[in-house]
Amino acid sequence: FTGPFEVSLQQLNDLLTDDSGFYSWPTKHFHEVYPRIYVGNHRRRCSMHAGEGEFKRLGITHILNAAEGNSFMHVNTNAEFYAGTGIVYHGVQASDTDHFDISVFFEEGADFIEKALAYKNGKGKIYVHCREGYSRSPTLVIAYLMLRLNMDVHTALAMVRQKREIGPNDGFLRQLCRLNQRLAAEGKLWNK
């Protein structure tokens, strides 16, 4: 399947790196990568227990933890952690490895982000995080932009990268390429 929708891993990595081929580490704990969608790391969680601090100030209504779990690679928060904060929580148990199939969470993640943004007649704000806000969480946000806003993978990836330094692993990038091919074949991408 070739043509304008054929996307290579190299092309995506080129969008993520600078002219010398280097990736950058995020400069801030979180960034607003699309109106009302924030991508960040898990360090914020301590400061906003019981809805205090940063999340309250930002008006975050929903949290998507792309790294739910107990291992050192994961962030051990759950719905209970946010009980009483008024924040709607959703977690997916993704691992940040090349061979992990994160695409099984693409629809589920997109649904949750869509619901969050529609909350209170479009007043919702969502914080999507993993451990570092570098690979898992941006991957789910990019999938949302493709699935719900009909962006092709280049546009979605470039948009998020413009706002935050990210570096989804090659396995995740391949899965986004496959999603791009599927959506292209179904005639669901608006540009190109």
Q: For 109-130, how does the pLDDT look when each residue is reduced to its tens digit (9 = 90+)?
A: 999 999 999 999 999 999 999 9
Query: Model-level pTM greater than 0.85?
Result: yes
**Domain harbouring 145, CATH code:** 3.90.190.10
pLDDT, tens only, 67-109 = 999 888 889 888 888 888 889 999 999 999 999 999 999 999 9
Tell me what the pLDDT averaged over the chain comes to: 90
Active site residues: 130
Q: Is residue 103 part of a domain?
A: yes
Q: Is residue 78 part of a domain?
A: yes
Domain range holding 128? 9-19+28-185
- H or E element in which residue 157 lies: helix 153-163
Q: Is residue 120 part of a domain?
A: yes
What are the strands, taking DSSP E only, across 7-136? 30-34, 37-40, 62-65, 88-91, 126-129
Cβ-contact 178, 155 below 8 angstroms: no
What pLDDT is recorded for position 50?
44
Looking only at Cα atoms, what is the longest distance across the chain?
A: 51
Q: Is residue 104 part of a domain?
A: yes
Is the model's pLDDT at 169 over the cut of 80? yes
Q: Quote the number of domains for the chain.
A: 1
Q: How far apart are CA 116 and CA 49, in angstroms?
A: 20
Write the Ramachandran bin of 76: left for phi over 0, alpha for psi from -120 to 50, otherwise beta.
beta
Q: Is residue 4 part of a domain?
A: no
What pLDDT is recorded for position 79?
85
Which of 136 and 19 is assigned the larger pLDDT?
Answer: 136
Q: Residue 130 carries which side chain, given as an amino acid letter? A: C
What pLDDT is recorded for position 47?
47
95 phi, psi to nearest 5 deg: -110, 145
pLDDT, tens only, 29-56 = 999 999 999 999 987 554 445 445 778 8
Q: Is residue 174 part of a domain?
A: yes
Could you tell me the sign of the dihedral formed by the alpha carbons of 77, 179, 171, 4, in that order? negative
